[in-house]
Amino acid sequence: MFGSLDRSGILAIAAEAADVSASAEPSSGDTRQALGRRFSIALPFGCEGPLRDDQQDATGWRYDESSQALRVQFAPVTWRTTDWRFRSEDEVSFEGFWIARPWTTSEACPVPTDAEPRDGGPITLPGQTLAIGQAVDGDASAPQAGTKPPYVAVVRVPPADLRAERGFAIRLKGRLAVVRYGGPVGCVQPGGSEQRPICLIGATFDEIVLENAATGETLARWSGIGKGRVGSAAISNLPQP
């Protein structure tokens, strides 16, 4: 009996799918065999500090010391089948999240580094290359990314207990699901063969948990994606920071 996949397991499956997509070599079958396996993966966010006033709907957090209200919010991404160039008889949408920094198995906020170019040349930042999402009912007019309201949790936290120095994390729990060609991963290279494949992992989200990364405390939880945007542990009658 296979155990639940963690971040390293998810990344290994995605890496194999990207290799198969880029090389056109037959798959070893490990990727397809992962279909239906349970997973639990945490995605850190809010590492740079509180949101600014002009980031009302962005993923992050803010704190109002006068009311002791901590508001944490995160916004899933909505994609259409055509955004991934997947061929499908039934036009569907996917709702999910980018898995940032897929080159590391760490689920913590990144350590700040010296990003200054040593040779005086420009730095080209890579785009996102790995996502995980669930198929939801949709059509060709499905909304673009960022148009849905964010998931929100508002909890009362005394200033001495805030502990936001390591940001927060969205923990996704569920099972891998079919996304393309009967397998749980679909990859595309819209920029051609020299581009790193951009891959979407198919999932069925059973639970989404909002955690304080510093303490491991659960702040809110949702029973799957699209089940309401206010967390079950949120204190909704608090004033919004």
Residue 93 burial by CB count (10 A; 0-12/13-18/19+): exposed, middle or buried? Answer: buried
Q: In what order do the strands lie in the sheet containing 151-156?
A: 60-64, 69-74, 151-156
Partnered with residue 95 across adjacent β-strands are 78, 134
pTM score: 0.84
Helix (H) or strand (E) holding 208: strand 198-212
pLDDT of residue 116: 59
Question: Which three-class secondary structure state does DSSP give residue 81?
Answer: helix
Cβ neighbors of 130 (< 8 A, separation 6 or more) are 11, 14, 98, 99, 102, 198, 199, 201
pLDDT of residue 100: 93
Phi, psi of 82 (to 5 degrees): -70, -25
Instruction: Report yes or no: 61 and 25 within 8 Å, Cβ to Cβ.
Output: no
pLDDT of residue 241: 39
Question: Which three-class secondary structure state does DSSP give residue 119?
Answer: coil
pLDDT of residue 231: 52
Question: Per-10-residue mean pLDDT for the chain, 241 residues long?
Answer: 87 92 71 89 95 88 95 91 72 89 93 63 75 78 56 92 93 93 87 87 95 92 72 43 39
